[in-house]
Amino acid sequence: MSGSLEGRVAVVVGSSSGMGRATALTFAAQGAKVVLASRNEEALNDVAAEIGEGALVCPTDARDAGAVNRMVAAAMEAFGRIDILVYSTGTNIPDRSVERLTTDTWDMMVATNLNGAFYCTRAVVPIMREQRDGTIIYISSGCVQFPDTSGVSYQATKHGMKGLSYGTLKEEKGNGIRTSVVYPGLCDTPLVLQRPVKTPDDIVAQALQPQDVADACLYVATLPARACVPELVLLPSGLA
């Protein structure tokens, strides 16, 4: 598949670590120009150094609609188009039960996991509509299909990403825009460390790796325009 994204421009939000980082590196390896966005500028610079030419570092707080708009404007100034958006930013907290959630932590979860996805979508859709081409990929969670103890705010926001994706697809498919939601099961990322009870090492050893999710995103992003994958469930085979 070498060069399968040649000439394409991908914005990867949450590209400083985990699945987003792996996706940015994978897209770049396949020839894409990559816009690296997250709040961690130092980590973004490290990713850009691995990519080399063709990476644009845009420190961005996705919870801030203005910051998202400025990031997209910088991407357009640098590359003149945006073909792919991957929203990989997401968070969770140890105090995740209904009993322990506060209005502040609930609002933070909604802002990070869902509002940011909407702000990014709203910013790129007019560009993709004008191009008559674009792919938006949302990294959700396997908890949407298989409810678990990841917490009500996490589950609510990850379910919300599905609604955002399907709503956008229905509205924009006539304009050449496709959307897809990827639902990874347990993946060995820093988010696992946010669990209130440590996940046993033998379970983590069976988890997905960020590269598995990146490869799924690459598959969706390289499909011909006639094909669309609205949902993709990706589970660790030993834990399914």
Q: How far apart are CA 206 and CA 53, in angstroms?
A: 35
Any catalytic annotation for residue 154? Answer: yes
87, β-bridge pairs: 13, 138
* pLDDT band, residue 14 (cuts 50/70/90): very high
Q: CA dist 203 to 22, 82, 206, Å? A: 21, 38, 5
- Which pTM value belongs to this model? 0.93
> What percentage of the chain carries pLDDT values higher than 70?
93
Backbone phi, then psi, for 171, in 5-degree steps?
A: -75, -35
d(CA 172, CA 118): 14
Q: How many CA atoms lie within 13 A of 142 on its CB side?
A: 16
Q: Which residues contact residue 170 at a Cβ distance below 8 angstroms, ignoring those fewer than 6 apart?
A: none
Q: Both tokens of residue 162?
A: 């599905």
Domain 9-234: CATH superfamily, name plus number: NAD(P)-binding Rossmann-like Domain (3.40.50.720)
For a pLDDT cut of 90, what percent of the chain falls above it?
78
Tokens coding 107: 């609002």
Catalytic residue among 154, 166, 183, 219, which? 154
Q: Is the Cα torsion angle 201, 158, 239, 235 positive or negative in sign? A: negative
pLDDT of 191: 63
pLDDT surpasses 90 at 8 = yes
Residue spans of the domains in the chain: they are 9-234
Query: Do 121 and 168 meet the contact criterion of CB atoms below 8 Å apart?
Result: yes
**Over the stretch 67-94, which tens digit does the pLDDT of each residue have?**
999 999 999 999 999 999 999 998 888 8
Alpha helices in the chain (DSSP H): 18-29, 41-51, 65-79, 103-110, 116-131, 152-172, 201-204, 210-221
Q: pLDDT (tens digit, 9 = 90+) per residue, 142-151?
A: 888 887 778 8
What six digits make up the tokens of 43? 């980590």
